[in-house]
Amino acid sequence: MGKIIYWVHQSVDGFIEGPNGEFDWPEMGEELSAYSQELSERAGAFLYGRRVWEMMSSYWPRVESISDHPHDLAFAPIWRCTPKVVVSRTLAEADHGARVVGGGDLAAEVVEVRDQLDGDLLLTGGTGAATALAALGLVDEFQVVVHPVLLGGGRQVLPDLARQDLRLVDTRGFDCRSVLLRYARA
């Protein structure tokens, strides 16, 4: 049985998007990109909330026609071959072979998916699914990459979540720019 890992990029002031929804500020240098790719390769499946899923499913299938960034080109084949799970109360189905959960008992559905996998369930970005799963005590590890930018507002990481004590597992700097804070449930 794998872990559920929440992997998210945030600003120094705690936002994952700017005031107008901008997500143009995370910089994927060589070191951060290599770590991200390693984490993704170990995943048994990618887990997304609906909003992040819509962004990912519109970008990664056609990334080669949009981007020539080395990170994007290296991640695209991993994204395509890794199973995907979408947490949503509004979607009945999703393309690219993704499984949709959240129409019933979210905890039971996610635990069932996790228990069927070899590897971790990598919950990427977003706040809705991450907050819901953290509130249920299902997120085993929080991997937060802090980027050197102040956004001054926007979408907050894990809003309206009741207090939970965490234990620092590791810190790591990337590209002399961003810092990974890795926490496990206490």
Whole-number percent of the chain with pLDDT over 70 = 100
Contact call for residues 131 and 159 (beta carbons, < 8 A)? yes
The structure tokens 């590890």 sit at 141
**Is 37's pLDDT higher than 90?**
yes
| CATH, residue 140 | 3.40.430.10
Whether this prediction's pTM lies above 0.85 is answered by: yes
Mean per-residue pLDDT over the chain, rounded:
95
Domain that holds residue 54: 4-185
pLDDT in tens, 137-165: 999 999 999 999 999 999 999 998 999 99
Helix ranges, 19-159 (H): 30-42, 50-59, 70-81, 106-116, 128-135
Q: In sequence order, what DSSP letters do the residues of 136-161 get, joined into one string?
A: TT---EEEEEEES----SSEESSTTP
Q: In what order do the strands lie in the sheet with 43-49?
A: 99-101, 84-87, 43-49, 120-124, 4-11, 141-147, 178-185, 166-174
Tally of structural domains, the chain: 1
Report how far apart, in Å, the C-alpha atoms of 35 and of each of 40, 92, 182 are.
9, 33, 13
Tell which residue, 38, 31, 13, has the closest CA to residue 150.
Answer: 13
- Across the range 76-103, mean pLDDT stands at 94
